[in-house]
Every structure is written in structure tokens, then in C-alpha cells.
Chain A
């Protein structure tokens, strides 16, 4: 009886670990999709409405459902308010670390960091070009991420279960 319970526990745990690892791929895709939505909001707010960045970030916070992300955008907006001493590039990097590290890849973060270096510094036309450029890169990354997900999600889930089963057999 104890052996059966132990075996179930081990297989269950290892299967769960496999599922968590597989979920990471899904999270990256979701986050990249969210970023593409955010960039679409930036396009409208910056190019069409010519809103200042704090207002753009505040409005973005209103439009996105992810509360953690929304709070991070509100913080970013406050870092750019009149009289704020915070350097925007630094604030942007911190924002990306808070919201993306562990989920996004180094390449994703580099693309978004580059956007932060340009955001707000040029005229509207140029801002639009930079955002579109960033969108194109992230779309490419999203395709890669989706390919990876379709390939690896099943593998990781199966691998989790298989590792558990192997461990149980070895213990028996």
C-alpha cells in the first residue's frame, strides 16, 4: 500500500514538474502576444493621439487585463512625471526585469530594451517606425516561441511522467 502511494506521489510530482516546464513555453507566447497588444496601444496613443508617455502608460494600464502588468505600467508612468528624477532608460529596464525575466528570452528582452532606448526621444513618425520595427521582431520571436511550444510542450509533459516512472521502477 505504502509503495503504491509512494509510486503515485513520485509519478504525480514528476508529471507536474514536466507540466510546469511545458507551461513556461506557453507563458512566453502569452507574454509576447500581450507585448504585441501593448505595442498596438503605443502606436495609437503615440502616433495618432500624441499623448505624453506617462499618459500612454496609464492608458495602457487601463486596457490590459493583467493586473501585475497594469501596476507596473502605472509605476512606470509615475517615474516619468514632471519633476521626477528617475532616468527613463533605467526605469524601463527595471520594468522589463520586473515583468519579463524568467519568462522572456534574452533576445526578447534585448528587443524591448532597444525600444526603451528610443521611446519618447524622437518625433512621432520615427516613434511609429521604431514601434513597428519592434513589433516585427517580436512577431518573429512569437513564431519561434510557438514552434518551440508545439515541439516541446508534449515532450516535457511526457518526459515528466517518464522520469517519475523510471524513478519508481528504479526504487522498486
Chain B
């Protein structure tokens, strides 16, 4: 029997897998170029160790400029230094918000109506910008967000190599095992999903894994970071991305049109997801998905996820947390039915395949 419980963090692995310095510099500059000149000059002074850890940069009208890192949040002072007190920080003006919006939309709000309805858009480089403001409604639905008052830049980080240690656990008898990644928000689910997709798309000759055709339904342009339909992050040479499509329709389209060996998607857990996943499995295709849940027990409390787990659609359940930094792999459980998974979750110690 093979013990498959692992403890590691995405950050630790990423450091080994890619040159931290170059990565941080490039990604930071890719994002910062969308800021108005005054803020750009300020952000150019942010110390390098903060840039490396930066996850988000938040602009709020008449509020302090906020920098969120892996290990906590701080504000940016007039000298470009991270400070704890908002009173010492630089305050965002209406003009700066306006110029930032103009910069990220190329002065064309109308061209991004769909994105504005959803409240986010993707920039070149795969970075995501979320915003809030005054919502205009039509027939009970948001038609447009105008008078934007908050902007959140989420810095995309491709942490190549983080999935490599777990690849043998996801590959058995010449096929990819149906896998679900669960965690609380912002614990690295999407990053791990992207890396698994990339690894299986490239294949790994050392492990005897051939390159597989992966169909990726990227509903919120988060996994591949697509900009104008073109993936900005490396998701492998055999991955077909359906960007911006609703999960259900996207999965059926990929099944019909692209003949994938794996279908990957983010954040399942809807009422009828079990049906869609069932159809994927019936078509002989493996599924790789993520879901919001801190633990298997919590996942079982969500009706949509419970049905997915009960129907035996999950052969590997990866639980992530922030315990030792973003992307700490708490456990990888093996099983074919929810009852089996649950027993293994309750029993402390190793999990057995």
C-alpha cells in the first residue's frame, strides 16, 4: 500500500522551480505599467521582497493604496514603502482611478461590457483586475458597473513545477485519475489546477506519462489567464482552452468538439454539476476540478459537491490550506466513493490507495 499524504507549500516549490528574481520583477512590472505615472513611480520604489510576495494591489477611491502579500496586507506610503497605518499611506484620487480605468480598458469601456457586468477583466500577462462601483440594473441583472470606485489588481503567478511531486499520485494504469482539489478561498487551488493541466499536457517521460489532450473550461479567465481568447500563462501544448464559457455548456462543447482525455475546470459545486461530471465520465474522459471547501466534511455539507462525491466521481481528493503558506497540500486522499473518502478523512494518519 502506498502512503500518499504530502506536506508541502506551493511557495516553497515555486522557489525551486523558477528564478524568483526574474519572475517577481517581470510580473510586478507587467501589472504596474497599467497605473497612472504618479502611482507607477511610487510602486517602483516598493522594496523587492514585497514585490516578490505581492498577490494583490488594491485601489479604493479616497482610501489608502493597499498591497496584499502572501503573508499579510500593508499600505504604501508616499515614499513607496509598506506601512501598517493607513494614515501614513498615499490616498487614491478620482483622477487616478479614472486614469487607471482608461489604461486597463484602452479607453474603451464599451468593448468590455461583458467583463464589466461580471466585475473583472483579464490583462495581458494573465493578471486579473476586479472592480466595483455603481451597478446599473436591467431586468434584475447587472447591465454595467459605472462610477468605479475600487480596483483590485490580482497578480498572476505561474509557479512551474509545483505539481510535479504529486503527478505519480494522479496517474494510474495509464490514465489520469478523476481529481478534485478543495480548499478555502485564496489557498492556491487554481494555481495547482493550472500546474496539473500543464504537466499532463506536456507529459513526463520520467514517470511514463504521455502528453494528454486537456480541455480546459476557463469560465472566469483565471486558469489560463486568457487575454482576447489567447492564454497568457503556460498551460501546455496539448491544452484547448474555452475561455469565458459557462462550465456546463463549455464542458459539453469540449466533449463534442475536441475529444479531450482530461477536462479541467474551476469551482464546481453547483446543483447540477454532478450530472455534467457524470456525463464526462460516461464519455470516458477524466475530470480535474476545484471546489470551495476547507475539508471533505465541509464539502459533504454542500449539496452540489456531496452529489459529485456520492456518485464516485472523484478518485483523488487534494486538500489545500494556508497553514504553511499559500498552497500547503494538507492531504491527498484516494477513493472511489464518498463513504470511503469520508472514512479516510476522519481517520487520522496516512491515506491508502
Contact mask B225-239 → A, CB, 8 Å, 1/0? 000000000000000
Assembly CA distance A164 to B102 (angstroms): 56
In the complex, identify which listed stretch (B5-13, B18-26, B78-86, B108-116) lies at the interface while the others stay far away. Answer: B108-116
Is residue B107 contacting chain A, with contact meaning CB distance below 8 A? yes
Pick 8 A–B contacts, CB within 8 A, sort by A: A46-B110, A51-B111, A53-B107, A85-B36, A88-B107, A122-B110, A123-B110, A124-B110
Q: Which residues of A contact B124 (CB under 8 A)?
A: 82
The answer to whether A84 and B103 have CB atoms under 8 Å apart is yes
Q: Which residues of A contact B34 (CB under 8 A)?
A: 82-83
Known contacts A83-B34, A88-B102: A120-B143 contact under CB 8 Å: no
Assembly CA distance A81 to B103 (angstroms): 8
Known contacts A83-B34, A123-B143: A52-B103 contact under CB 8 Å: no
Assembly CA distance A87 to B99 (angstroms): 8
Q: Which residues of A contact B143 (CB under 8 A)?
A: 123
Q: Which residues of A contact B111 (CB under 8 A)?
A: 46, 50-53
Residue of A nearest to B114 (CB): A50
Q: Which residues of A contact B123 (CB under 8 A)?
A: 82
Q: Which residues of B contact A54 (CB under 8 A)?
A: 106-108
Q: Which residues of A contact B108 (CB under 8 A)?
A: 51-54, 56, 80, 120
Assembly CA distance A87 to B96 (angstroms): 11
Q: Which 8 A-B pairs have the closest CB atoms?
A: A52-B108, A83-B33, A120-B107, A124-B110, A52-B106, A53-B108, A52-B111, A88-B107
Is residue A121 contacting chain B, with contact meaning CB distance below 8 A? yes
How many cross-chain pairs have Cβ atoms below 8 Å apart between A and B? 62
The answer to whether A80 and B109 have CB atoms under 8 Å apart is no
Is residue A141 contacting chain B, with contact meaning CB distance below 8 A? no
Q: Which residues of B contact A119 (CB under 8 A)?
A: 107
Q: Which residues of A contact B107 (CB under 8 A)?
A: 52-54, 80, 88, 119-121
Question: How many residues of chain B have a CB within 8 Å of chain A?
Answer: 21
* Shortest distance between the CB of A117 and any CB in chain B (Å): 12
Q: Which residues of B contact A120 (CB under 8 A)?
A: 102, 105, 107-110
- Which residues in window 70-112 of A have CB below 8 A to B? 80-85, 87-88
Residue of B nearest to A79 (CB): B107
Tell me which of B34, B107, B111, B124 has the highest count of chain A C-beta atoms within 10 A of its own C-beta: B107
* Shortest distance between the CB of B198 and any CB in chain A (Å): 26
* Shortest distance between the CB of B138 and any CB in chain A (Å): 10
Assembly CA distance A119 to B110 (angstroms): 9
The answer to whether B37 and A85 have CB atoms under 8 Å apart is yes
Q: Which residues of A contact B105 (CB under 8 A)?
A: 52, 120
Q: Which residues of B contact A124 (CB under 8 A)?
A: 110, 113
Assembly CA distance A166 to B103 (angstroms): 61
The answer to whether B109 and A122 have CB atoms under 8 Å apart is yes
The answer to whether B110 and A82 have CB atoms under 8 Å apart is no
- Which residues in window 108-145 of B have CB below 8 A to A? 108-111, 113, 116, 123-124, 143-144
Assembly CA distance A104 to B105 (angstroms): 31
* Shortest distance between the CB of B318 and any CB in chain A (Å): 36
* Shortest distance between the CB of A124 and any CB in chain B (Å): 4
Q: Which residues of A contact B99 (CB under 8 A)?
A: 87
Residue of A nearest to B144 (CB): A123
Residue of B nearest to A83 (CB): B33
Q: Which residues of A contact B146 (CB under 8 A)?
A: 122
Assembly CA distance A75 to B274 (angstroms): 53
Assembly CA distance A122 to B111 (angstroms): 9
Q: Which residues of B contact A122 (CB under 8 A)?
A: 109-110, 146
Assembly CA distance A121 to B98 (angstroms): 10
Assembly CA distance A20 to B144 (angstroms): 51
* Shortest distance between the CB of B256 and any CB in chain A (Å): 27
